[in-house]
Amino acid sequence: MDNAKRDISINKRVHDLVKKIPVKENGYVFSFDGFKQSERLTELLKDIPKTTFHGLRDSHVSFLFGQEIDLVYVSKRLGHVNIQTTQNYYLELMPEKKHEQEEDALNLLDPL
C-alpha cells in the first residue's frame, strides 16, 4: 500500500478550509477506525449535496479534464502508477472528450 498515501498540492483557499478541521491525536483529519471516513465527510459537507470520497475524486478529475489539464499530470496527481490506469477509468467519464478528439482527428485528415 505504498501508493495509498498521496501528497497533492492545494490552493490557499482550500488550505485555509482544511486548517479549520480539527486534527486527531494521530495527526490526521480523519480517523482510521472502522471506515467511518464517509460519515465524517457527510458531516463536513452537510451544506452541499451528499457525495462520497470517490465522488469528489471523480468530480475533481472531470473538472481538470474539462480545463484541458494534461492526462499525465492528472494521473500523477491521482497517485496512479501509470497513465494507463487513469485512461482506463477516468476518460470513460468524459465521453465528450472522445467525440471532440475524434472530430479533431477527422478534421486533420480532411486535407489529405
Q: Using an 8 Å Cβ cutoff, are 54 and 90 in contact? A: no
Whole-model pTM: value is 0.56
Residue 31's SS3 state is coil
Burial class (CB in 10 A: 0-12, 13-18, 19+), 7: exposed
Amino acid at 84: Q
Q: Measured between alpha carbons, how far is 5 from 98 in angstroms, rounded to an integer? A: 31
- Residuewise pLDDT in 10s, the chain (112 residues): 455 666 778 889 988 988 888 888 888 876 666 566 667 777 777 777 777 778 888 888 888 888 888 889 999 888 888 889 888 888 776 666 666 777 788 888 888 7
